[in-house]
């Protein structure tokens, strides 16, 4: 069900991109936007992991440097029937972990020193299993594609806004105005980027639920992951997760802005509410028993 929902949302996002291309230049514009998205996905596919790891100052560790962590990741990878990923540690007090890489054969798992101190062994194992769930479900590739397409749509919206400011034409109306021109501008500059963002966030939330379920199965202890999520949620409620920005929030194990704002913040969150995730993990634990 989650895979079907992801496919439908991704198809909708792609269709939105093509519709924008058609608005700009008919069939040629649609083809151009499609080619641009393919090229950007190609670059993201090959280099996104290196960009992310360098951005956070992650350092790769060996079995001699972090024997317990390497042993944990290795054991969970075997249970998940995945190749052993590279393991990185990020020196920060913020409790977080994420997975990256274009496919399971080129995956990396990163954890912060903060999360290693905040959680006990079983809870950390649940978090690592969740991240390996992202790798197993190829969420790192899906999120890269989605982010790239949404980024292209946002870029087009900004072009449309600047064109309007400087008196340029957005559509093919002969007079460049009229009701049709106004509606086209509203679609390109306002509605399209909002819709793209909401679809991107919807896909992200679906994949988080799926990674929780996979992680609970791999670790064999969904309640440990649930406990870890609650601890990290408490941290986010009382402290600012300094490394988080709207552009990087999907790299966090929970919504890093859960302590900021109200229902509107939740609407534009990359993660489902922690309470919902915990409830699903508790249900999973009952089924496993």
pLDDT in tens, the chain (289 residues): 444 555 555 566 666 666 666 666 667 766 776 677 667 667 766 777 787 888 889 999 999 999 999 999 999 999 999 999 999 999 999 899 999 888 899 999 999 999 999 999 999 999 999 999 999 998 877 766 666 666 666 666 666 666 666 555 544 444 445 555 566 666 666 666 676 666 667 677 888 999 999 999 999 999 999 999 999 998 887 765 555 555 555 567 776 665 555 545 555 566 788 999 999 999 999 999 8
Of residues 1, 5, 12, the one with CA closest to residue 153: 12
How far is the C-alpha of 146 from the C-alpha of 197, rounded, in Å?
10
- What b/e readout covers 104-133, taking b as 16+ CB neighbours within 10 angstroms? beebbbbbbebbbebbeeebbbbbbbbbbb
Residue 134 assigned as binding residue: yes
Beta strands in the chain (DSSP E): 59-60, 86-90, 97-100, 108-112
122 annotated to bind ligand: no
Whether 60 is a known active-site residue: answer no
Name the phi and psi angles at 87, rounded to 5.
-120, 130
* Tally of CA atoms within 13 A in the half-sphere of 53 that contains its CB: 20
Was 271 annotated as part of a binding site? no
Q: Which two tokens stand for residue 233?
A: 């949620």
Rounded to whole angstroms, the Cα distance separating 157 from 194 reads: 10
| C-alpha distance across the termini of the chain, in Å | 23
Element (H, E) at 274: helix 274-288
Tokens of 204: 């992200």
Instruction: Pick the catalytic residue from 131, 174, 184, 283.
Output: 131
Residue by residue, what is the 3-state secondary structure of 106-123? HCEEEEEHHHHHHCCHHH
């Amino acid at each position: 069900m989650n895979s079907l929902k992801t496919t439908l949302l991704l198809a909708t996002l792609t269709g939105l991109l093509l519709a924008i291309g058609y608005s700009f230049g008919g069939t040629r514009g649609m083809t151009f936007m499609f080619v641009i998205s393919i090229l950007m996905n190609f670059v993201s596919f090959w280099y996104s992991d290196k960009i992310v790891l360098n951005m956070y100052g992650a350092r790769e560790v060996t079995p001699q440097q972090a024997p317990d962590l390497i042993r944990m990741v290795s054991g969970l990878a075997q249970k998940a029937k995945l190749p052993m990923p590279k393991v990185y540690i990020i020196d920060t007090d913020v409790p977080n972990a994420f997975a990256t890489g274009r496919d399971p054969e080129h995956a990396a798992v990163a954890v912060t020193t903060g999360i290693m101190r905040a959680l006990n062994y079983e809870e950390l194992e649940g978090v690592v299993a969740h991240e390996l769930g992202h790798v197993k479900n190829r969420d790192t590739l899906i999120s890269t594609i989605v982010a790239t397409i949404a980024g292209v749509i946002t870029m087009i919206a900004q072009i449309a806004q600047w064109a309007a400011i400087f008196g340029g034409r957005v559509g093919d109306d002969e007079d460049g105005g009229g009701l049709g021109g106004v509606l086209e501008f509203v679609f390109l500059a306002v509605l399209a980027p909002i819709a793209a963002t909401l679809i991107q966030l919807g896909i992200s939330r679906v994949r988080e639920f799926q990674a929780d379920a996979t992680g609970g199965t791999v670790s064999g202890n969904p309640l440990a992951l649930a406990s870890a999520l609650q601890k990290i949620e408490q941290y986010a409620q009382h402290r600012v997760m300094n490394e988080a920005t709207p552009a990087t929030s999907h790299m966090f194990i929970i919504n890093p802005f859960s302590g900021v704002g109200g229902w509107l913040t939740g609407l534009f969150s990359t993660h489902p509410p922690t309470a919902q995730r915990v409830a699903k993990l508790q249900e999973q634990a009952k089924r496993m028993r």
